[in-house]
Structure 1
């Protein structure tokens, strides 16, 4: 079965084709659950080099995992700084970036 260009889920370059045409008209992309947005943050600069996304349980566990990864890959942060929870204002997730690795907690309230 052949799929027409209009029915494909991606553009020829591999990027995702959004099904809602109104999204393309928006000035910015707001990632509410992560407390990030394309106008307030340079998302390509922040995450363009990410190769691995590791998801786990509690925020503390994923912070510890980020520190572990930092040691394993020999990643150095500037003196006087520390790992920061990038999505700290979301109150839903914690998100740490160590070089090409994202460490993300996922909590599901029951």
Structure 2
């Protein structure tokens, strides 16, 4: 059973096909839960090398996960520095970047 072009979730180049046509009309991308936007932040500069985004539990759990990933991929940080929460001490989430991996804890209220 083959999938028609209209049913595919991505274009031949691998980019994601937007199912909501209104998104294409937006003048910027906003990641509301992370307080990041394409007008307020240089997302390509900040995260252009990111290949994996891991979102999960508590801030401590995601910090531990970032340390685990750092060990697993052999990522080295400069001597005298340490892994830091780069979310500017947000009360809503924490964000760690370890090479190509983002480790994020977000509180999703329902």
- Asked whether the two chains share a fold, i.e. TM above 0.5, the reply is yes
Deviation digits for residues 27-85 of structure 1 (CA, Å, limit 9, x no counterpart): 10010001111112222232232234344421123224334544565545467765443
Report if the CA contact (8 A) 1:35-1:90 is conserved. Answer: no
Give structure 2 stretches of 5+ with no counterpart.
Answer: none
Moved more, 65-74 or 8-17: 65-74
Moved more, 38-47 or 95-104: 38-47
Aligned CA RMSD, in angstroms, stands at 3.0
Q: Judging changes above 3 Å, is the alpha-carbon distance between structure 1 residues 92 and 67 closer, same or farther for their aligned structure 2 residues?
A: same
Aligned partners of 2:61, 2:93: CA distance in 1, in Å?
12
Give structure 1 stretches of 5+ with no counterpart.
Answer: none
Shift of the alpha carbon at 1:92? 2.9
Aligned partners of 1:79, 1:39: CA distance in 2, in Å?
34
Shift of the alpha carbon at 1:104? 1.8
Alignment partner, residue 59 of structure 2: 59
**The residue matched to 2:93 in structure 1 has which SS?**
coil
Moved over 6 A (4+): none
TM-score by length of 1: 0.70
Report if the CA contact (8 A) 2:33-2:106 is conserved. Answer: no
